[in-house]
């Protein structure tokens, strides 16, 4: 069997100024703020929805293939 070759891609690290501003806005640590920003979570409301998910916001599991 031929081993699968995986290609990892790293998301760009946001600037220190934007991380610091976001960190203060959500009252979180620097590494957590960086990870959230890399996941395109860049404001307080998006972070709140990410950490407090609601069942009605989930996608139907039967649509997964």
| Residues above pLDDT 70, as percent of the chain | 95
What is the distance between the terminal CA atoms of the chain, rounded to a whole angstrom? 25
Q: What is d(CA 12, CA 23) in angstroms, rounded to the nearest whole number?
A: 17
pTM given for the model:
0.74
pLDDT score of 1 more than 60: no
Q: What is d(CA 18, CA 24) in angstroms, rounded to the nearest whole number?
A: 10
Averaged pLDDT for residues 1-18:
85
Contact 36, 45 (CB under 8 A): no
Q: What is d(CA 3, CA 29) in angstroms, rounded to the nearest whole number?
A: 39
Averaged pLDDT for residues 18-39:
96
């Amino acid at each position: 069997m031929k081993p699968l070759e995986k290609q990892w891609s790293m998301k760009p690290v946001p600037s220190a100024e934007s991380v610091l501003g976001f960190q203060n806005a959500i009252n979180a640590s620097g590494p957590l703020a960086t990870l959230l920003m890399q996941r395109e979570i860049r404001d307080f409301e998006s972070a709140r929805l990410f950490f407090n998910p609601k069942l009605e916001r989930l996608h139907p599991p039967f649509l997964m293939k």
